[in-house]
Amino acid sequence: MPSNLPQDIVLAIKSVVGDAPLALHEPRFNGNEWTYLKECLDSTFVSSVGKFVDRFEDDLANFTGARRAVAVVNGTAALHVSLLLAGVKSGDEVLLPALTFIATANAVAYCQATPHFVDSEDRSLGMDAVALRDYLSGTTEMRSGQCINRGTGCVIRAMVPMHTFGHPVDIDALLAIAYDFHLHLIEDAAESLGSTVAGRHTGTFGLMGTLSFNGNKTITTGGGGAILTNDIELGKRAKHITTTAKLPHRWHFVHDEVGYNYRLPNLNAALGCAQLEQLPDFLRNKRRLFEQYQAAFAEVHGVHLVAEPAGCRSNYWLQTLLLDESHADQRDAVLAATNDAGLMTRPIWALMNRLPMYANAPKAPLPVAESLEQRVINIPSSSGLGSVAP
């Protein structure tokens, strides 16, 4: 009997998670969420002042190993401020993977800079360091210590690799490129809380890293994000400009520069503190879910589950199928079959250079990203799925 790939995939997913209608990724609230939220409400400090904001920042720094964490209202705000602090300004270009979530590109546009899109690799689904070095070597030159795009005459100021679905990029190779081409490296670690490279947490390698705590992330604060940095002074600057650049005083309102009201409310931080306490369990369960899916898909031909790169430990935020190139034309059929079966799945994002506002942005050749765009499918990934830890 000939294989029916869409139905084979439905059966493989159901063998792990069952038949019930399932979202792609749901939060779990099994800890101190109600206790901390009630404490926050009882204190009346529910906005941008309160003990949970400070605690959440300290807990994030301790978990990730960063010297400083600054909590903000969402991951996009974290990226925006990180780019500003890296000196990105109007007319600059910033290197990004074309295969990323829209926030990465939008944060560059907020600085009145231009996204410059580059290719990805199929190992991590993130920025391809080998292709990037070759591309920059052929298209840029150094002038007065700055990397200049010969085609546009603009300064390429920074690069923002993204750890796609929690899988770490080849960060050491990208750091070497940043050094050689005089670029600031900011990690978009929005999806990779709990992921490490040789034991070191993502988001702590570059000048700054950014996290997201949206409702569908590994932990959630409802909304929310954070900036990570090992530069204490830079962390102080990040805290200052994300809290409206207000100078400390008991009653006067004096602001010494243009700042941003990017403060994370205490109420959200209280939720985050409770979620962080459970993060080790979430990570164990998501790894177990990956292993169960891997076994279920071992005999399904034409597709494989994306695994963490060698030397890395992924948080497996979203479990990810990659269709063989010969089966790429079945992607939409798989999406239809799984969603019809009550199993929420989704494709990867449209390439940024295909969107109307970024269609004229500079870009490298994108053969791998264009292929991945047609072959990646995310499947139900909540940490409560499968046979979870007791």
**Residue 218 CB neighbour total at 10 angstroms:** 26
Mean pLDDT of 130-137: 98
Question: Which regions of the chain carry the CATH code 3.90.1150.10?
Answer: 5-28+279-379
DSSP calls for 208-267: EEEEE-BTTSSS-BBBBEEEEES-HHHHHHHHHHHBTTBPP-SS---B-S---B-BPPHH
Question: Which regions of the chain carry the CATH code 3.40.640.10?
Answer: 33-276
pLDDT tens digits for range 1-58: 457 999 999 999 999 999 889 999 999 999 999 999 999 999 999 988 889 999 999 9
User: What is the percent of the chain where pLDDT is above 90?
Assistant: 96
Three-state secondary-structure class, residue 130: helix
Q: What is the pTM of this model?
A: 0.96
- The CATH code of the domain at 33-276 is 3.40.640.10
The verdict on domain 5-28+279-379 having CATH code 3.90.1150.10 is: yes
Of 137, 174, 134, 140, the C-alpha closest to 155 is 140
Residue 1 confidence (pLDDT): 40
